[in-house]
Homo-oligomer: A and B are copies of this chain.
Amino acid sequence: MNNFEYQNPTKIIFGRDSEAKVGAETAKFSKKVLLHFGGASARKKGLLDRIKASLSSAGVEWTELGGVRPNPVLSLVNSGIELCRKEKIGFILAVGGGSVIDSAKAIAVGVPYSGDVWDFYTGKAVPASALPLGTVLTIPAAGSESSSGSVITNEAGLLKRALNHDLLYPRFSILNPVLAFTLPKNQRAYGVADIMAHLMERYFTNVPAVEFTDRLIEATLKTVISAAPRIFSDEPDYDAWADVMWAGTIAHNNLLDTGRIGDWASHDIEHELSGIYDIPHGAGLAIIFPSWMRYTLSHDPARFAQFAARVWHVEPYFFDTNRVAEEGIQRLSKFWSSLGLPSRLADLGIGPENLSLMADKCTSGDTKTVGHFVELRKSDIEKIYNAAL
């Protein structure tokens, strides 16, 4: 186990009707907030009205900024920064999924910064302060509701880049599984893929003696695998949604990588895909992750076999570790297919035209490697894309 530091300050408020607490929680930080959200879905379900009623009753005023799309863009972030400055906003309340929350985080660090907020995403600058923010989560997937991360797409150059900083932890996140009941079925599947990918990125590590976090990750994966099929039932299953939502948060709140180093190549490889093609992140992960697994299996078959045996209940067969390992990847693929997820780039209409370009962007022109479990060069990434065609 590696040395580590761990602290996650986000207050989680979980359960039915928990959004009724949003006014009181928000008022602890500011009486003037930016209400940040996506499309019409937050309005349609009456959620925004309930949130406004709660804010009003706590004496909190708001300015609205809607319109966040999946793969949130820098231009809207910049609008939000200007709006916050103009209206002297003291707190950002994100209502939505990971895209809205990531956009809110970018606005939060951008407001007190005199330069271009994109500097933080390229590593040119490090945030020194940020507006506090809170969230009302409507989509279990990204884990951004209690993470220190934010991913933004710069439309100029179609660059999708991530920022990680302790200032980005939400002060509170309100998780009501009922708010996810009306999600379209494909978005449910993308969320499950994203959550499982967060867990698997952490699982595939070269750090030895990580038995405790191995088991915690396995426990969380088994929970998602057990609950996920039940969130597709026509009659909403609160308990299944609650398991998926809470697991989605725990999957990405940094507890599960204490003392270990995750891989994260699949995320980087996928970011290039959804940066160019604007496909859902979860769909891209469902295609890339198994391809990455097959490409890297030989690096540590024992780890893949443990994953197969413990998470997918493949019968241990110690005479042929590879056979066990491969069966695990196959079960993952079959499971994702059973949820309606794509398994090939062709399923999304993506051909070989940009694979080399994406591999080039992913490695900054073959000047850096991607991934910690296996350090991949441009040529490796091209092969992973190609195997997923």
Give chain A's interface residues, CB within 8 Å of chain B.
1-18, 208-209, 211-212, 215-216, 218-220, 222-223, 226-227, 239, 242-243, 246-247, 250, 255, 258-259
What is the minimal beta-carbon distance from A261 to any residue of chain B, in angstroms? 14
Are A7 and B10 closer than 8 Å at their CB atoms? yes
Partner of A259, one of B1, B212, B242: B242
Are A212 and B216 closer than 8 Å at their CB atoms? no
What is the minimal beta-carbon distance from A287 to any residue of chain B, in angstroms? 27
Provide the residues of chain B in CB contact with A7, threshold 8 Å.
9-12
In the bound assembly, the distance between CA atoms of A155 and B6 in angstroms comes to 37
In the bound assembly, the distance between CA atoms of A14 and B8 in angstroms comes to 15
Are A5 and B13 closer than 8 Å at their CB atoms? yes
In the bound assembly, the distance between CA atoms of A17 and B2 in angstroms comes to 12
* A208 closest partner in B (C-beta): B239
What is the minimal beta-carbon distance from A148 to any residue of chain B, in angstroms? 13
Provide the residues of chain B in CB contact with A243, threshold 8 Å.
1, 209, 211-212
Provide the residues of chain B in CB contact with A12, threshold 8 Å.
4-7, 258
Provide the residues of chain B in CB contact with A220, threshold 8 Å.
212, 215-216
In the bound assembly, the distance between CA atoms of A220 and B256 in angstroms comes to 12
Provide the residues of chain B in CB contact with A255, threshold 8 Å.
250, 255
In the bound assembly, the distance between CA atoms of A18 and B13 in angstroms comes to 32
What is the minimal beta-carbon distance from A164 to any residue of chain B, in angstroms? 17
Are B211 and A1 closer than 8 Å at their CB atoms? no
Are A15 and B4 closer than 8 Å at their CB atoms? yes
What is the minimal beta-carbon distance from A368 to any residue of chain B, in angstroms? 28
Are A219 and B215 closer than 8 Å at their CB atoms? yes
Contact A223-B211, Cβ < 8 Å, known A4-B15, A6-B11? yes
In the bound assembly, the distance between CA atoms of A18 and B222 in angstroms comes to 34
* A222 closest partner in B (C-beta): B215
Provide the residues of chain B in CB contact with A17, threshold 8 Å.
3
Are B14 and A5 closer than 8 Å at their CB atoms? yes
Are B5 and A209 closer than 8 Å at their CB atoms? no
What is the minimal beta-carbon distance from A156 to any residue of chain B, in angstroms? 38
* A171 closest partner in B (C-beta): B7
* A6 closest partner in B (C-beta): B12
Partner of A2, one of B6, B15, B216: B15
Are B259 and A14 closer than 8 Å at their CB atoms? yes
In the bound assembly, the distance between CA atoms of A11 and B6 in angstroms comes to 6
In the bound assembly, the distance between CA atoms of A72 and B248 in angstroms comes to 40
Q: List 9 A-B contacts (CB under 8 A).
A: A4-B15, A5-B12, A6-B14, A7-B12, A12-B258, A211-B223, A212-B247, A215-B222, A219-B219
In the bound assembly, the distance between CA atoms of A14 and B12 in angstroms comes to 24
In the bound assembly, the distance between CA atoms of A290 and B291 in angstroms comes to 49
In the bound assembly, the distance between CA atoms of A4 and B175 in angstroms comes to 10
Provide the residues of chain B in CB contact with A5, threshold 8 Å.
11-14
Shortest Cβ-Cβ A-B pairs, 7 listed: A3-B15, A209-B239, A215-B219, A7-B11, A219-B219, A6-B12, A212-B223
* A177 closest partner in B (C-beta): B1
Contact A246-B219, Cβ < 8 Å, known A5-B12, A8-B8, A12-B5? no
What is the minimal beta-carbon distance from A152 to any residue of chain B, in angstroms? 27
In the bound assembly, the distance between CA atoms of A15 and B6 in angstroms comes to 11
Provide the residues of chain B in CB contact with A223, threshold 8 Å.
211-212, 215
Are A212 and B246 closer than 8 Å at their CB atoms? yes
Are B9 and A209 closer than 8 Å at their CB atoms? no
Contact A239-B13, Cβ < 8 Å, known A255-B255, A259-B246? no
In the bound assembly, the distance between CA atoms of A250 and B215 in angstroms comes to 13
Partner of A14, one of B3, B208, B215: B3
What is the minimal beta-carbon distance from A236 to any residue of chain B, in angstroms? 14
